[in-house]
Amino acid sequence: MATSRRFLTAGIAGLVVVAASAAIVAIRSSASNPPRPFTQQERTSPTTITVFFSGPAGRPPEDLFTPRLGGNGWGNDELQSYTDRYANARMDGAGHLVITARRESYVGADGFRRQWTSGRLDTLGKWSFVSGTLSVRMKGPNAPGTWPAVWLMGDDIGTVGWPACGEIDLVELVGRNSIAHQTVHGPDRVGKPYALPARRAGRPSALTDPAGFHTYSITRTPGEMTFAIDGQVSGRVTRPDLSRTQKWIFDEPMFLTVNLAIGGWSGRPTPSTPSSVAMVVDWIKYSAATDR
């Protein structure tokens, strides 16, 4: 769990193939059936949404995601520069979104020279949710110095900043172990960050196949968050779990981020770290809470 990782810089271009309706309906991308944006009703009303990545190989997805750019370390001493290049975020033609970190010298518009590039995509201003279940099926590289993550932050990050906006980590994988870290971050009464792991029996969840596909989920209801891995509950965080000095700020709209960082909490890459490593997202599903 990082202590201060949440800086946003200006981003351009859009990304993702989207399907949305009251029931899960896949809208596949093709010349005759191109991707479409969410309708206003889909943005503001409870619904079920499924995101597939079925477009042509080498193309970025459309609409839902915005790439974030920069090599400023992102508050964590990260080593990559995030770009909006197809080489760092693209569809693979087999139904996946692939975010690739590459060992290469690169200077972005912010002037920072980095020896790695990668991708960071989020739905800020395009889609967020307050309650319901969000699931992401993905796999990350199992290599030293790699740090793939799927996580949420509050829509108000632009006005209140981090940690006041809150953060929920569906999963963070670090290349030095096989642990699936699921954590919530928020502010205390004086604005300092706290981190609360979502664990059962006091231990984080270990993956038997850390380089394979797994489904990571979060169910949000007022005052409670339930985490799951491959359909099995992996931990909960509730309002009473917080201390008297910790603020609960997790019942507000939050947007999704997927990214592959290098360095930071995961440590530095080693000579055994491949020069190209990938985080692969199979699908994203959201279902509004109805009976909890």
State pLDDT tens for residues 64-102.
899 999 999 999 999 999 999 999 999 999 999 999 999
Query: For 101-106, what is the mean pLDDT?
Result: 98
Provide the pLDDT for residue 201. Answer: 53
Three-state DSSP state, 204: coil
Catalytic residue among 42, 78, 167, 252: 167
Q: Give the residue-averaged pLDDT of 177-194.
A: 95
Which pLDDT value is given to residue 211? 86
CB 230 within 8 A of CB 135: no
Which pLDDT score is estimated for 94? 93
Instruction: Map out the domains of the chain as residue ranges.
Output: 17-287
User: What pLDDT score was predicted for residue 230?
Assistant: 95
Residue by residue, DSSP assigns 89-146 as EEE-SSS-EEEEEEEEEEE-TT--EEEEEE-EEE-TTT--BSSEEEEEEEE---STTE
Q: Where are the alpha helices (DSSP H) in the chain?
A: 40-44, 157-160
Average pLDDT over residues 167-176: 93
Rounded to the nearest 5°, which phi and psi values hold at 14? -120, 165
97-111, 191-205, 275-289, range with the lowest pLDDT = 191-205
- Tell me the C-alpha to C-alpha distance, in Å, between residue 14 and each of 85, 89, 172: 12, 11, 24
Identify the pLDDT of residue 203: 67
φ, ψ for residue 23 (rounded to 5)?
-120, 160
pLDDT band at 6 (very low <50, low <70, confident <90, very high): low
Q: Mean per-residue pLDDT for 141-167?
A: 96
Q: What is residue 134's predicted lDDT score, i.e. its pLDDT?
A: 96
**Catalytic residue flag (residue 167):** yes
> pLDDT value at position 15?
27
Token code pair at residue 217: 């989920």
Identify any residues that bridge with 51 across adjacent strands, giving them in sequence order: 18, 284
Task: Classify residue 241 by its DSSP letter.
Answer: G
Can you give the pLDDT at residue 254? 97
pLDDT tier at 26, thresholds 50, 70, 90: very low
Fold exhibited by the domain 17-287: Jelly Rolls (2.60.120)
The better pLDDT of the pair 68, 42 is held by: 68
Name the more confident of 26 and 133.
Answer: 133
Q: Say whether 78 is catalytic.
A: no
Q: Which residue has the higher pLDDT, 270 or 177?
A: 270
d(CA 158, CA 140): 29
Q: What is the mean pLDDT of the chain?
A: 84
* Beta-bridge mates of residue 27: none
Strand locations in the chain (E): 17-21, 48-52, 66-67, 80-82, 89-91, 97-107, 113-118, 120-122, 132-139, 146-154, 167-173, 179-187, 193-197, 205-206, 214-221, 224-229, 232-238, 254-262, 276-287
pLDDT, average across residues 11-40? 32
Instruction: Decide which of 12 and 254 is more confident.
Output: 254
pLDDT > 90: percent of the chain: 70
Neighbour tally for 115: CB within 10 Å: 16
What integer pLDDT is reported at residue 27 of this predicted model? 27
Which segment of 12-26, 154-168, 278-292 scores lowest on mean pLDDT? 12-26
Q: How confident is the model at residue 247 (pLDDT cuts 50, 70, 90)?
A: very high
- Average pLDDT on 136-147 reads 95
Higher pLDDT, 241 or 175: 241
What is the arithmetic mean of pLDDT over 270-285?
96
Instruction: Find out whether 65 and 16 touch, Cβ atoms under 8 Å.
Output: yes
Question: Higher pLDDT residue, 285 or 49?
Answer: 285
Set 62, 104, 172, 224: catalytic member: 172
